[in-house]
Chains A and B, each alone.
Chain A
């Protein structure tokens, strides 16, 4: 009897999650057609929607929400490493000094300062 109730419960949860996932898929396709001002913002929106979908899959389909915390710790550590990898690779690529023959007059000294790099990254 408890099995039956649990059954119904699980079916309902999984169905709601699936519905949300399909809705978000439709949203991301629609959002791709809208110009939010810059390509960068569009990428951020697409990735935010994807992350929302991935979180739903992880929390419900993969049971992270009710599982022992160990699984979540492992999963999040992996994502953190990926974030570090991504962050440093972008940091380097975005902050590289531009060198060209004959560009002595440019001020590469400024490019070194951290503020300039943060500006050039955005």
Chain B
């Protein structure tokens, strides 16, 4: 590399802590969220270990309740929600648009520090009594239990604003900082996905803020809105909570879909099939996501009329999701499919997300949801969407942009071994949970009926395979950082703007302002590409 990159132009801790560079903030976010994922993963392993036997295995019921609460809260608020937008998105969104930075760099740094503050508050709960409410904080349990609930509600409030700031930045950046020639329909689909995500972040997160604030005030002052003893309605809390937390599912999955929309055309060397359909379906999902939250409440005492409406609207979300999947598959048709790590994870995403999405039909449908609600079926379903979907897409994106972020190629061979282990481990862990769930094993159970033990053992063993795969992933990625920089500017042959600059990029992203004169997936004719492959080999 000739010129200094964003990694080397300035050195020292201060140059990182006070940076306004979106790439450095993205990298700081990346390491922080990965640390959170590691913590959440350790907690998950503890949960699986405890469930190896029907009664006590290694911890008491109180500890177990705190562990699963923290696992959920850490994974959702500290990992999945910020991982793709704030870590990968921060890094690549301005590059994809040909911008020098996001619109509000200081707000971006503020977002990161709010994240750190919120994370520290949430983790401080571990040493100040723990929290055993479940990540859903349902009242009146959450208003009557002891522990560090107050601290965690405030942490969630702070984390919410961190997320809002990211969303504000992305929308303003997309509107105002596109490079010359970058019309809306020349934007890479990742940008469309981020844009749709940002809409939800801005519109839904404030309601989470007021919900946890009211919960906090309920605990401190006894406000009375959610407390039946004071004339309040605990079911209203569920409306407040899910008004945010269901759209939040799309804050998580839309960025995952956005990554897949980048990876599949590049590694199939095909223009994406149905660009507009995918772009609009992202925005459609963002819109409809606000109309479906009540499907978490079919057995909660919500009225029959509300349940019926919410069920119907829920099914409408299935359509844009299905459209996306079919478009991705069709993109591969007559392509030149290059099975490198990002593509392997993208195909894994297609398979796992298909299961996650299709099992959602069981839960959106009223009669079957009554039986399956709050069982392991739900646990398996959302892990297929959140982990099989979002996390696998995150891995696809991480492998895709890793050379760009750090200027190093990782070991392709180890990445295949790891991917195979992750795939086998994941399915072993969670397919067993589908079966348990439909047979009537409730979630959040510390003790369980002995008849479920074989399936729990399978699930726990699966979690070990999964963990092994992830440890290997961490190993070869970290090992690549010890090498000398060896990544070419465009290792995958992508046509989007981030590949037009060096790897890693210079501080101001581009030496000259790029001018866009083609679509994001207008690859050169295939013959030339095949020739290129021959030369590289």
Residues of A within 8 A of B (CB): 70, 77-78, 81, 84-85, 88-89, 91-97, 111-112, 114, 117
Contacts and interface: CB of A to CB of B under 8 A. Distances in A.
A96 B303 contact: yes
Contacts of A85: 207, 243
Contact of A92 (B203, B207, B291, B294): B294
Q: Report, nearest first, the 10 A-B pairs whose CB atoms are least far apart.
A: A92-B306, A95-B303, A95-B305, A96-B303, A81-B203, A112-B304, A89-B239, A92-B303, A117-B305, A92-B302
B304 A77 contact: no
Interface in B235-265: 235-236, 239, 243
Contacts of B305: 91-92, 95, 112, 114, 117
Contacts of A70: 175
B304 A97 contact: yes
Nearest to A89: B239
B239 A92 contact: yes
Contacts of A93: 233, 236, 303
A78 B204 CA distance: 10
Contact of A84 (B175, B291, B301): B291
Interface string B287-307: 000110110000001111110
Contacts of A94: 303
B309 interface: yes
Given A81-B290, A93-B233, A93-B236, A88 B306 contact: yes
A91 B306 contact: yes
A94 to B, nearest CB: 8
Contacts of A96: 301-303
B201 to A, nearest CB: 12
Contacts, number: 50
A84 B292 CA distance: 11
Name the residue among A85, A91, A92, A117 with the largest chain B CB count within 10 angstroms. Answer: A92
Main secondary structure of the interface of B (DSSP, over half): helix
Given A96-B301, A114-B305, A117-B305, A88 B175 contact: no
Interface in B186-241: 199, 203-204, 207, 233, 235-236, 239
B203 A77 contact: yes
Contacts of A95: 303-306
Interface of B: 175, 199, 203-204, 207, 233, 235-236, 239, 243, 290-291, 293-294, 301-306, 309-310
15 contacts: A77-B203, A78-B203, A84-B290, A88-B306, A88-B310, A91-B303, A91-B305, A91-B309, A92-B235, A93-B303, A94-B303, A95-B306, A96-B301, A97-B304, A117-B305
Nearest to B307: A92
A8 B281 CA distance: 49
A117 B306 CA distance: 11
Nearest to B310: A88
A98 B293 CA distance: 23
Nearest to A81: B203
B231 to A, nearest CB: 13
A78 B171 CA distance: 14
Nearest to B239: A89
B172 to A, nearest CB: 10
A113 B291 CA distance: 21
Given A81-B203, A95-B306, A117-B305, A89 B236 contact: yes
Contacts of A91: 303, 305-306, 309
A112 B309 CA distance: 12
A49 B501 CA distance: 57
B117 to A, nearest CB: 26
A92 to B, nearest CB: 4
B292 to A, nearest CB: 10
Nearest to A77: B203
A85 B243 CA distance: 7
Contacts of B303: 91-97, 117
Contacts of B304: 95, 97, 111-112
A91 B293 CA distance: 14
Contacts of A89: 236, 239
Nearest to B247: A81
Name the residue among A77, A84, A88, A93 with the largest chain B CB count within 10 angstroms. Answer: A88
A54 to B, nearest CB: 18
B214 to A, nearest CB: 13
B100 to A, nearest CB: 22
Contacts of A88: 239, 291, 293-294, 306, 309-310
Contacts of B293: 88
Contacts of B290: 81, 84
B198 to A, nearest CB: 12
A16 B203 CA distance: 34
Nearest to B304: A112
B202 to A, nearest CB: 8
Given A88-B239, A114-B305, 10 more contacts: A77-B199, A84-B291, A85-B207, A88-B291, A88-B309, A88-B310, A92-B303, A93-B303, A112-B304, A112-B305
Contacts of B233: 93
A98 to B, nearest CB: 10
A120 B293 CA distance: 24
A92 B298 CA distance: 11
